[in-house]
């Protein structure tokens, strides 16, 4: 799934600056949410991040069944 406009990222950028937000600490929240969804649906799947807001101007995640 793709997140083209992230409110959390923008808030972090406004409050912490581009140096901090460039480390993309918020990715852990999105990855955890996706992993939790897979777990709750009893899916044996892996989640990975293919694009980041800081580099690609959007975040993109891929969920693949194992």
Torsion of CA 8, 19, 27, 50, to 10 degrees: 120
The reported pLDDT for the residue numbered 66 is 86
The reported pLDDT for the residue numbered 58 is 96
The reported pLDDT for the residue numbered 22 is 87
Please classify residue 21 by burial: count the beta carbons closer than 10 Å to its beta carbon, then call 0-12 exposed, 13-18 middle and 19+ buried: buried
Span 18-49, pLDDT tens digits: 899 988 888 999 999 999 999 999 999 999 99
Report d(CA 54, CA 34) in Å as an integer: 20
């Amino acid at each position: 799934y793709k997140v083209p406009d992230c409110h959390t990222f923008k808030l972090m950028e406004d409050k912490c600056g581009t140096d901090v937000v460039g480390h993309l600490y918020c990715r852990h929240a999105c990855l955890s949410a996706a992993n939790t969804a897979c777990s709750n649906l009893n899916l044996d799947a892996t989640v990975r991040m293919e694009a980041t807001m800081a580099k690609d101007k959007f975040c993109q995640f891929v969920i693949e069944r194992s």
